[in-house]
């Protein structure tokens, strides 16, 4: 006899095995079943004789006891494993059951009380086969060899007392029917084929919450959220609007509406959202959000990407927030004369980039000798440049002549002809030059070199706040006056 005290029992791993033989019709099946477990004593597999006490409850922690106590005394536990036969009577009635297990050293009339193991062990499905097998003794089911069928001619209900079909399955929580594979995937496998559906033109439908979710009509069109699919596939979020349609005629795809026969992909919306968005987050190579190719071998008007806007003042046929590249582009004209051309009326070139030189023309085709040519016949300024900067050197127009050889390199060149009031240059404000100015000569020798007559408009009074070197023509004395730093002096 062992008198070793059990200090700590860590866990018990148990399984229940049906102990009866094959199903027969000769008599009822007993209620006993075999229970196998593993016992750990003081962190080591137990070994020796132990007494066990088993009780059945209808709850994992509290609850009510079902059936009597079942004691198994002096059970030989070998390397932690033991096997006992338990019989609680007809307590396995389809409801969940838990075993409450107590254990003590195996000594008859041992004064030590049972140590209750925690948690209780739930009874696994094997003993519940007793409950199903007992059905062979009533008038509900008939067992024939390895088969079993229902004796009543009415409907069969699983999870319901009011079946509405030959087999009605209802579950309170979780799936009504679950197919689980022994492998890594859950699937249904049949020999040559597995069929679910109808044998006529009736619809085949899948419902949840008593609402139609998937519908296949007699023509083979599939509706998800649609009871009457308009295409081979018709998806709707609200049961009426078509979110995605694949045409059964030509395979065209429509998002937001059924597609037109002329569009392979058609996206439609009447809400204030982006109709279609394509994002490419790749970090190398040529990455396109949208790529359109027009490669028709004949005909005209082949468009890679075509945008059309109408019906409002703020509708845009194309809107680009970022860089835009095109090898040739035209705005307002279908017959551009350059790499890029803009026209307000479809004929007049407002802005042209020459395809050969890259020269730019505004109001005209660009000259071959000018990078920028601007032309107008209306009474407006041909070009205006405004700089509102408040610090540093700010230029409205800046011209640099930096030719390393040759002659006549001109930073800014003005030319006027055809009228007496045309000006090659007109400056309203201060004028500054760091070099010499030539009037009538292209090779000035001084800061101001005039190759002709200079005229000073006479004035009756001397200028205020003069500085040494100031000159003016006195209209009273008719003399040229020069300021010497102290007073005005007549030159003769």
Residue 156 lies in a domain: no
DSSP classification of residue 131: H
Same domain, 236 and 350: no
Q: How many CA atoms, within 13 angstroms, populate the side-chain half-sphere of residue 199?
A: 0
Residue-wise pLDDT tens digits, 35-47: 988 888 888 999 9
**172 closest CA partner among 186, 159, 189:** 159
Residue 487 CB burial class (10 angstroms; 0-12, 13-18, ≥19): exposed
DSSP states along 391-424: SS---SS------SSSS---SS-----SSTT--S
Asked whether the beta carbons of 215 and 203 are under 8 A apart, the reply is: yes
* pLDDT at residue 190 is higher than 90: no
Q: What is the pLDDT of residue 138?
A: 53
Is the pLDDT reported for residue 188 higher than 60? no
pLDDT band at 175 (very low <50, low <70, confident <90, very high): low
Whether 120 and 223 share a structural domain: no
Same domain, 96 and 213: no
Helix (H) or strand (E) holding 138: none
Residue 115 shares a structural domain with residue 220: no
Q: What pTM did the predictor assign?
A: 0.37
Last residue of a domain, one of 114, 137, 160: 137
> Is pLDDT of 372 > 70?
yes
Q: How distant, in Å, are the alpha carbons of 149, 195, 197, 227, 346 from that of 200? A: 28, 14, 9, 17, 61
pLDDT at 14 > cutoff 50: no
Judgement on whether residues 272 and 333 belong to the same structural domain of the protein: no
For 447-461, write each residue's pLDDT tens digit.
Answer: 889 888 888 899 999
- CATH assignment at residue 50: 2.60.40.2060
Cα radius of gyration rounded to whole Å, the chain: 51
In a domain, 441, yes or no: no
Domain count for the chain, please give it: 4
Summarize pLDDT for 233-287 with one digit per residue, the tens.
999 888 778 888 888 788 888 887 888 887 888 888 777 667 777 788 888 877 8
Q: Are residues 249 and 338 in the same domain?
A: no
Same domain, 331 and 269: no
Last residue of a domain, one of 83, 117, 137: 137
Q: Does 227 map to a domain? A: yes
**pLDDT for 7 beyond 50:** no
* pLDDT tens digit sequence for 391-409: 777 787 888 888 778 777 7
Cα 199 to chain centroid distance, Å, stands at 41
User: What local confidence, expressed as pLDDT, does residue 466 receive?
Assistant: 94
Domain boundary among 107, 137, 167: 137
Q: Is residue 311 part of a domain?
A: no
Residue 109 inside a domain? The answer is yes
Q: Of 156 and 6, which is predicted with more confidence?
A: 156
- Is 424 part of any domain? no
Give the Å distances, CA to CA, from 19 to 40, 63, 128, 201.
25, 27, 12, 51
342 near 350, Cβ under 8 Å? yes
Asked, for residue 3, whether it belongs to a domain, the answer is no
**Residue pLDDT, tens place only, 308-366:** 877 777 788 888 888 877 777 788 787 787 777 888 777 778 788 887 787 888 878 77
Is residue 483 left, alpha or beta, with left meaning phi > 0 and alpha meaning psi from -120 to 50? beta
Residue 29 included in any domain? yes
If asked whether residues 101 and 16 sit together in one domain, one would say yes
Residues of the domain holding 130: 9-137
């Amino acid at each position: 006899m062992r008198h070793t005290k059990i200090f700590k029992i860590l866990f018990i791993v148990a399984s229940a095995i049906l102990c009866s033989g094959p199903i027969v019709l000769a008599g009822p099946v007993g209620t006993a079943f075999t229970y196998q477990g593993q016992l750990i004593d003081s962190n080591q597999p137990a070994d020796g004789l132990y007494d066990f006490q088993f009780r059945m409850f209808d709850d994992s922690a509290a609850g009510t006891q079902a059936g009597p106590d079942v004691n198994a005394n002096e059970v030989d536990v070998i390397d932690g494993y033991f096997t006992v036969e338990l019989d609680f009577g007809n307590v396995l009635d389809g409801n969940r059951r838990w075993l409450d297990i107590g254990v003590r050293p195996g000594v008859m009339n041992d004064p030590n009380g049972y140590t209750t193991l925690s948690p209780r062990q739930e009874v696994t499905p094997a003993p519940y086969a007793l409950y199903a097998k007992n059905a062979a003794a009533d008038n509900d089911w008939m067992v024939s060899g390895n088969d079993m069928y229902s004796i009543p001619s009415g409907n069969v209900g699983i999870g319901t007392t009011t079946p509405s079909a030959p087999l009605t399955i209802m579950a309170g929580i979780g799936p009504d029917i679950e197919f689980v594979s022994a492998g890594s995937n859950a699937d249904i496998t049949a020999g040559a084929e597995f069929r679910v559906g109808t044998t006529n033109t009736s619809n085949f439908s899948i419902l949840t919450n008593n609402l139609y979710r998937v519908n296949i009509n007699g023509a083979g069109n599939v509706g998800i959220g649609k009871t009457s699919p308009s295409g081979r596939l018709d998806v709707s979020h609200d049961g009426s609007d078509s979110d995605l349609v694949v045409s059964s005629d030509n395979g065209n795809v429509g998002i937001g509406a059924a597609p037109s026969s002329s569009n392979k992909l058609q996206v439609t919306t009447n809400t204030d959202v982006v109709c279609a968005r394509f994002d490419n987050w790749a970090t190398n190579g040529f990455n396109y959000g949208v790529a359109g190719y027009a490669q028709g071998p004949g005909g005209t008007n082949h468009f890679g990407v075509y945008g059309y806007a109408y019906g409002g003042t703020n509708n845009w046929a194309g809107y680009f927030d970022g860089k835009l590249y095109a090898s040739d582009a035209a705005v307002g004209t279908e017959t551009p004369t350059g790499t890029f051309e803009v026209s307000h009326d479809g004929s007049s070139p407002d802005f042209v980039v020459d395809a050969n030189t890259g020269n730019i023309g505004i109001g005209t085709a660009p000259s071959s000798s000018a990078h920028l040519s601007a032309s107008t016949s209306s009474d407006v300024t041909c070009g205006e440049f405004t700089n509102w900067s408040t610090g540093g050197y700010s230029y409205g127009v800046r011209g640099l002549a930096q030719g390393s050889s040759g002659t006549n390199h001109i930073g800014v060149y003005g030319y006027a002809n055809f009228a007496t009031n045309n000006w090659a240059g007109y400056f309203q404000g201060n004028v500054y030059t760091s070099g010499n100015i030539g009037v009538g000569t292209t090779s000035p020798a001084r800061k101001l070199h005039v190759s002709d007559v200079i005229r000073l408009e006479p004035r009756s009074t001397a200028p205020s706040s003069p500085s040494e070197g100031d000159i003016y023509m006195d209209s009273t004395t008719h003399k040229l006056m020069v300021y010497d730093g102290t007073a005005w002096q007549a030159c003769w």
